[in-house]
Amino acid sequence: MSIKIAIVEDQQKIIDRLIQRLSFFDDIEIIFSANNADQAIHCLEKCELKNLPEVILMDIEMPGKSGIELTGIIKSKNPEIDILIQTVFENDEKIFQSIQAGASGYLLKDDPIQKYVDAIHELSDGKAALSPLIASKLMNYVKNSRKTKEEKAKETQEDFSLTDREIDILKGIVEDLTEPQIGEKLFISHHTVRTHIKNIYKKLHVHSRASAVRFAISKGLIP
């Protein structure tokens, strides 16, 4: 079964290049492309529910509404759609704002097409499409932008009734460790890890690793 995606990008040549390169992958189907936010919203409104894209490749800098603004609009109406932000340069503040708006991952426009495909598959499988490097940059941004990071993380931890063990496991999720790897690191079985993850999802009101990573970073849960 193919993964339905859409492309929102103000430069048509980049859209054409992505369509051409992604056409070699039989399990990826491009539903529509748009050059700005208004076009994207119109296309989404015209889509039948069963034909909505699962993943949207979103340009961050566009005329009119930015990709960050559009991400927030789309996630408020269609929270099940994953957004992959793409831009020409790494900008910690923009990345953080994108994740806060609801984006699930981040790609550079000059990344190889296989990296795009891998990220699309990861999101389709419910995983986070954030590399450990990007996750680390995000956590450093939060740390540098908040003077009382540890205090804030502790307060947020208490707000959601997370135990210290659950925070340790959440760190492992952010680092993209598997359940067995987290268990080995914490000297507990992967079955115990799985139980903790279920409890974390319930407390944070999330349903996937991608959502948990996004929530943990945006709320500053990881000190």
Question: Domain holding 211: CATH number?
Answer: 1.10.10.10
Same domain for 165 and 110, yes or no, is: no
Residue 54 domain boundaries? 3-129
Residue-wise pLDDT for 141-178, tens only, equals 665 655 445 555 565 666 778 888 999 999 999 888 99
Domain end, chosen from 129, 163, 182, is at 129
Contact partners, residue 83, CB within 8 Å, separation at least 6: 55, 56, 58, 71, 74, 75, 98, 102, 103, 104, 105
Domain end, chosen from 96, 129, 162, is at 129
Name residue 143's amino acid.
K
Same domain for 107 and 11, yes or no, is: yes
Strands (E), 9-81: 28-34, 55-59
Let me know the angle formed at the C-alpha of 105 by 135 and 160, rounded to the nearest 5 degrees. 65
Residue-wise pLDDT for 21-67, tens only, equals 999 999 999 999 999 999 999 999 998 877 899 999 999 988 899 99
pLDDT of residue 114: 92
Same domain for 14 and 100, yes or no, is: yes
- The pLDDT of 210-223, averaged and rounded, is 78
Same domain for 19 and 49, yes or no, is: yes
In a domain, 137, yes or no: no
In a domain, 23, yes or no: yes
Q: How many domains does the chain have?
A: 2
